[in-house]
Amino acid sequence: MLNIVLFGPPGAGKGTQSERLIEKYNLVHLSTGDIFRANIKGETELGKLAKSYMNKGQLVPDSVTIDLLKSEVMKHSHPKGFIFDGFPRTNNQASALDVLLVSMNTSITKMISLDVDEEELKTRLLKRAEVSGRADDANPSIIENRIAVYQKETAPVKSFYADQNKFFSIDGMGSVDDITKRLFDSIDAN
């Protein structure tokens, strides 16, 4: 299986690039943020809980997020692989994902991080807010908080994969097509 963790701060382009990767490599796209948003829309209990964290730019607790991810992974029988987008966001999540994949006789192939500078992230998120309707994109102080949470809680996950020689990063600035090409090159350079 080809299992890619697409990594990077909010606004790095993980969702956009995931769409291209699933098409080329025939993978399942798992975005915990998308799943939480679908639950908010469906007004489920999980949605209510997730919303209380998401609207402040905080992480949804690990226990909830890990259970959700596990049940989503198990929904797919014989997948070619997964793109994990927005997961793992903590070292606990990364460990739980490793254990889950081992139980399926597979593992993460690589984590690829999209490097984008902070000013560009803020610009992209505010622009996305105009079309996404996402409350967490529209408010500059929530954006600041999401970036701060990323630096403090999520960026350390890079070392988790670097320690396994699975961490790679690419330049996430420039056109969507250019970034896609860099990603394809990184994945194909096995």
Cβ of residue 89: shortest distance to ligand AMP, in angstroms? 4
Q: How far apart are CA 91 and CA 137, in angstroms?
A: 25
Of 52 and 159, which CB lies nearer to ligand AMP in the complex structure? Answer: 52
Tokens describing residue 56: 């402040």
From 56, 122, 134, 158, active-site residue: 134
Q: Is 124 a catalytic residue?
A: no
Residue 129 or 181: the one with the smaller Cβ distance to ligand AMP is 129
In the sheet that holds 167-171, the strands lie side by side as: 28-31, 81-85, 2-7, 110-115, 167-171
**Can the peptide bond before residue 9 be classed as cis, meaning omega within 30 degrees of 0?**
no
C-beta closer to ligand AMP: residue 133 or 185: 133
Minimum CB separation from ligand AMP for residue 93, in Å?
Answer: 6
Any catalytic annotation for residue 89? yes
**Quick check: is 146 catalytic?**
yes
Residues found near ligand AMP in the complex (CB under 6 A): 10, 32-33, 36, 53-54, 57-60, 65, 86-87, 89, 93, 136, 146
CB of 88 to ligand AMP, least distance (A): 6
What is the token pair recorded at 8? 């990077």
Active site residue 128: yes
- Report long-range pairs for 22-25 (Cβ below 8 Å, ≥24 apart): 22/83, 24/184, 25/80, 25/81, 25/187
Cβ atoms of 151 and 130 within 8 Å: the answer is no
Is position 24 annotated as part of the catalytic site? no
For the annotated catalytic residues, the residue numbers are: 14, 89, 128, 134, 146
